[in-house]
Chain A
Amino acid sequence: MTSQLFFQYLVAGITYGSIYAIVAIGFNIIYNTTGIINFAQGEFVMLGGMLAISLHSMLPLPLAIGLAVLITMLIGALIEIIFIRWLKSPSILRMIIITIGISILIREAALHVWGEGVRSLPYFNGNEITTIQLWGTNISPQVLWVISVCSIIVLLLSIFFKYTSLGQEMRACAANRLAATLCGISTKNMVTFSFMLSAGIGALAGCVVSPITYTQYDSGTGLAIKGFTVAVLGGLGNSMAAVAAGILLGIIEAFSVSVVPLAFQDAISIALLLLILFIRPHGLFGSKEAAGLKDF
């Protein structure tokens, strides 16, 4: 393998990896406040992309993306209010089935609105063949967009959780729900807000990646399972580890193409998921003791 090819694979891996990381962070945000794994997480990414594509026919690109993110956040909030808010301590099995049902409904709605066709946003700068020379390799500017937007999302989220009072309230809710309620934090609103937040970042990721990977009504499922792989790999609930795990999975996937046919690529990352679940269910970076206290 030439160094140029190696670098090409590496960049592709980081690009996909950062999207997986964003989906994983979306899982983690909701998991931390509710203890639920939202199986409809991938659908937010698809919705963001699809809405932006439709809005772009009327509005300039930045506005279309902004609006698409807002609408997806609203949908996220609605889902929480309609399906989850009023349930009294539901069992995990029940929550899994409900969120799976929601993901099916969103997917089917997308199928009926946008059809089976593959769509995409235009490239933010230039077009498919525009490239930038970087360390001797050709990189599409969109790749830089994806990587930088994902980094900014991660940066802003960590600032948000650390320094704003809303972020601190959400963390309190994640640490101990009862104690947070006693301190006068409305845990129910925090849950709604966590759905909005993870829908929003998912939608934004869906927009920036749309020119490269294209968007289709069922592109959410694959992303969801890979995002979950990454979340588990990093240790469920740990967003910073998810970034490292996401990039790791992206790179493994990119390099696996040189060994096995492309058609088996998904099977590889899922086999990796199974392996992680069997060997280290608390994640590569998580501690076993902490995982033992959590309720899966």
Chain B
Amino acid sequence: MKAGKYIPVALLALVLIGIQQLTQMTGTVYYLTQMTMTAYYALLVIGLCLVMGYAGQISLGHAGFFAIGGYTSAVLTTYNLTPLLEKGNVLISFMQASGVLVTRQSLYGQTLLSVHPWPACIVALILATAIAFLIGIPVLKLKGHYLAMATLGFGIIIYRVALASEIFGQADGISAVPGFVLLPDLIVSGDFNNRVQNYYIACSTLIIGFLLLQNLIDSRVGRALRAIHGSEEAANAMGVNTTRYKLYTFVLSAVFAALAGILLTHYNGGIGPSEAGIMKSVRYVAIVAIGGMANLWGALTMAAILNFLSLRGMFGSYDDAVFGSILIIIMLFAPNGLLRLPIWQFFKKSPAGK
């Protein structure tokens, strides 16, 4: 049984490889671009699934964490530090001496000095973790409507700050973000020649994240979380430190969101304020709800299907309306997710049961 749970993941990996081979054969490699983006969004969604489904805490601010990751990394890797260095800023010279900075040529042949993506990524993750802690401690004391509004408020603040700040490019966002050189030959970027490579980078990140969460849910922590979801008071009485578990899952999911933001920003070569918008957060919540809340596989499947269709432009200008309708219909008729409708019970019913 122990190894049994890895079989579906192995199958998933095979399917993902199969998809890549299929696009190669049919000459539709361009699908991989959207699939790569889908994989990063799915990374965020499975993180949110942990918070919503297993810990039972709604978060309408996860696009905020995505944006914190993406924007921090984008600013650090594009902000030109040359003028500061020339002014003799000690910190900048120290950073250059320790190899944290890189130089590259801009489109106009100007030499740019900025932070290397690796340290930028680490700073972004630390920042997201710190903010998740700071926000999480007071927010997670709230319940129901208050929790929903507080996380929504947090998301709006991030959106407003991104939209109003000069350093975040205001409504234009940040563009010309360089590729993320993971290893000398492994670069996260939107370069057409790197398409297949990037597809695999995204898929491996997603699978690693998925395995991590799956093991977490099967562990003591997962059981504690389910107890919290069932009844917080009862869990508390059983000696589960509910506050701490809720906070840690919240922070972990924020890190997932930030990582997705960082990688997707480098892949797209930019980020805009719409990534921090409320509709994005609502969309992630919708996907988790459709997947069946406490169901990692459901969240993963739905994130893959819906994000891919949306990115391919299948819903046209009705994109948000489609997500809104799905949200209502699922919550009205199948609050436990599509995969738990009574219809499936009908097929599964064994005669030995009753």
Contact mask for chain B residues 323-349; partner A; CB cutoff 8 A; 1 contact, 0 none: 111011001100100000000000000
B251 contacts chain A at the CB level, 8 A cutoff: no
Contact mask for chain B residues 216-257; partner A; CB cutoff 8 A; 1 contact, 0 none: 000000000000000000000000000000000000000000
Determine if A274 and B324 form an interchain contact, defined as CB atoms under 8 angstroms apart.
Answer: no
For B148, list chain A residues within 8 Å (CB): 37, 39, 96
Binds B, one of A62-70, A164-172, A177-185, A259-267: A259-267
B149 contacts chain A at the CB level, 8 A cutoff: yes
For A100, list chain B residues within 8 Å (CB): 60, 282, 285, 327
A278 to B161, alpha carbons, bound, how many Å? Answer: 21
Determine if A232 and B146 form an interchain contact, defined as CB atoms under 8 angstroms apart.
Answer: yes
Determine if A273 and B153 form an interchain contact, defined as CB atoms under 8 angstroms apart.
Answer: yes
User: Contacts A96-B58, A277-B150 given: A102-B328 contact, CB under 8 Å?
Assistant: yes
Name the CB-closest residue of B to A270: B153
User: Contacts A104-B279, A296-B146 given: A267-B332 contact, CB under 8 Å?
Assistant: no
Nearest-neighbour CB distance to chain A for B208, whole angstroms, equals 29
For A102, list chain B residues within 8 Å (CB): 324, 328
- Count the B residues whose beta carbon is within 8 Å of the partner chain — how many? 41
User: Contacts A102-B328, A104-B324, A266-B160 given: A96-B318 contact, CB under 8 Å?
Assistant: no
Name the CB-closest residue of A to B143: A296
For B85, list chain A residues within 8 Å (CB): none
Q: Which of A156-203 contact B (CB under 8 A)?
A: none
Name the CB-closest residue of A to B151: A274
User: Contacts A97-B331, A274-B153 given: A104-B146 contact, CB under 8 Å?
Assistant: no
B202 contacts chain A at the CB level, 8 A cutoff: no
For A264, list chain B residues within 8 Å (CB): 160-161, 164
Residue from B144, B160, B279 within 8 A of A93 (CB atoms): B144
Nearest-neighbour CB distance to chain A for B59, whole angstroms, equals 11
Name the CB-closest residue of A to B147: A296
For A96, list chain B residues within 8 Å (CB): 58, 144-145, 148
A160 to B325, alpha carbons, bound, how many Å? Answer: 36
Determine if A83 and B328 form an interchain contact, defined as CB atoms under 8 angstroms apart.
Answer: yes
Residue in A112, A232, A278 whose Cβ sees the most chain B Cβ within 10 Å: A278
Determine if B58 and A93 form an interchain contact, defined as CB atoms under 8 angstroms apart.
Answer: yes
User: Contacts A225-B152, A281-B146 given: A108-B321 contact, CB under 8 Å?
Assistant: yes
Nearest-neighbour CB distance to chain A for B116, whole angstroms, equals 31
Residue in B141, B157, B327, B331 whose Cβ sees the most chain A Cβ within 10 Å: B331
User: Contacts A101-B327, A225-B149 given: A263-B58 contact, CB under 8 Å?
Assistant: no
Nearest-neighbour CB distance to chain B for A279, whole angstroms, equals 9
A287 to B335, alpha carbons, bound, how many Å? Answer: 35
Name the CB-closest residue of A to B324: A104
Name the CB-closest residue of A to B279: A104
Residue in A264, A274, A295 whose Cβ sees the most chain B Cβ within 10 Å: A274
Determine if A278 and B138 form an interchain contact, defined as CB atoms under 8 angstroms apart.
Answer: yes
For B282, list chain A residues within 8 Å (CB): 100, 104
Determine if B160 and A267 form an interchain contact, defined as CB atoms under 8 angstroms apart.
Answer: yes
Q: Which of A83-99 contact B (CB under 8 A)?
A: 83, 87, 90-94, 96-98
Chain A residues within CB distance 8 Å of chain B: 37, 39, 83, 87, 90-94, 96-98, 100-102, 104-105, 107-109, 112, 221, 225, 228, 232, 261, 263-264, 266-267, 270-271, 273-274, 277-278, 281, 295-296
